[in-house]
Copies of this chain bind each other. A is one copy, B any other.
Amino acid sequence: MKPNSNTGNTTFTHQTVPTDYVDVKGVKFAYRSFGKQGGIPIIFLQHFTGTMDNWDPAVTNALAKNHHVVLFNNKGVSTSSGKTPDTISEMAKDAIDFIKALGYDQFDLLGFSLGGFIAQDIAANYPMLVRKLVLAGTGPIGSEGITQLESVISDGYKDGPANALVNLFFAKSAKSIEAGRAFMKRLQLRANERDTPSTNETVGAQAKAIITFGYQKDDERKQLLAIKQPVLIVNGTTDLIVPTINSYVLSQYIPNSKLIIWSDAGHGGLFQHHEDFVREVEIFLGTQV
């Protein structure tokens, strides 16, 4: 049972799909569900501080041509009710509650940054739920550098909030900055029914979860070795938030993976290289296009 009246309605896009809501365990989850009807859906797991509005329509709309796409705000984030937990494992459980409430027993996950930490937890600990996994700008338990989150974010904001995402998600070349500005414009394409920003409480809980994940140890890489699903790993060469070497570590231990790293790109390499990213995802998911 998919309670969402939009599910399967291919006439909606990232820009036009109404936000819908589903209640689970006392939490009202906000989501947007659009694209091709039927098949295994792609569930998008968002980055630190991000809402549904932070997904790039160049990616979501392109993937929606061949897949059902589900964006959502996890518990406590923006238009979803409840209190954002401060651990990755609780965020993973919340995400599963939400996805199951939509009626999906199996799905593909696309996790970006914090969303990638959550996606790994779900794939490793609830393997029957996940068919395939896309991990962008992310890393394993104990990822090098992510305990420095707060100073990295502060640096990104040093010339004002308007430039923060370009500073934090893109490289320093003119070409990458230009791609960053194009990305920022695309984030504004959806005009109506936009999400509210994450609250300070949510941001604080997420930061704590990320930094804790960075201090955690998994010396034997048990979580990565437990991920038996096919995994596509992508990043730019100069990821400031989850340094790129962490993507390399993912590829060294996840048994069935393909790693892609684009030069002159950062944390948001999937957005800078959205055409190549979508092409790789389509091939990876085995879409007949």
**A interface list, Cβ under 8 A from B:** 237, 244-245, 248, 251-252, 254-264, 276, 279, 283
List of B residues within 8 angstroms of A260 by Cβ = 258-260
Q: A279-B283, A283-B279 are in contact. Are A237 and B251 (CB under 8 A)?
A: yes
Contact B259 A264 (CB under 8 A): no
Looking across the interface, which residue of chain B has its beta carbon closest to that of A238?
B252
List of B residues within 8 angstroms of A279 by Cβ = 283
**Partner of A255 from B252, B264, B276 at Cβ < 8 Å:** B264
6 tightest A-B CB contacts, nearest first: A259-B261, A257-B263, A251-B261, A248-B248, A237-B252, A258-B262
List of B residues within 8 angstroms of A244 by Cβ = 252
Q: List 5 A-B contacts (CB under 8 A).
A: A248-B248, A251-B261, A255-B264, A256-B263, A258-B276
- Alpha-carbon separation in the docked complex, A259 to B263 (Å): 8
List of B residues within 8 angstroms of A264 by Cβ = 255-256
- Alpha-carbon separation in the docked complex, A244 to B245 (Å): 12
Contact A263 B237 (CB under 8 A): no
**Partner of A259 from B252, B255, B256, B259 at Cβ < 8 Å:** B259
- Alpha-carbon separation in the docked complex, A283 to B280 (Å): 11
Contact B251 A263 (CB under 8 A): yes
List of B residues within 8 angstroms of A262 by Cβ = 257-259
List of B residues within 8 angstroms of A252 by Cβ = 237, 244
- Alpha-carbon separation in the docked complex, A264 to B252 (Å): 9
Chain B nearest CB from A146 CB (Å) reads 19
> Which of A248, A257, A260, A283 gathers the greatest number of chain B CB atoms within 10 Å?
A248
Looking across the interface, which residue of chain B has its beta carbon closest to that of A231?
B263
Chain B nearest CB from A250 CB (Å) reads 10
Looking across the interface, which residue of chain B has its beta carbon closest to that of A262?
B258
- Alpha-carbon separation in the docked complex, A109 to B268 (Å): 30
List of B residues within 8 angstroms of A254 by Cβ = 263
Contact B255 A258 (CB under 8 A): no
Looking across the interface, which residue of chain B has its beta carbon closest to that of A261?
B259
List of B residues within 8 angstroms of A251 by Cβ = 237, 261, 263
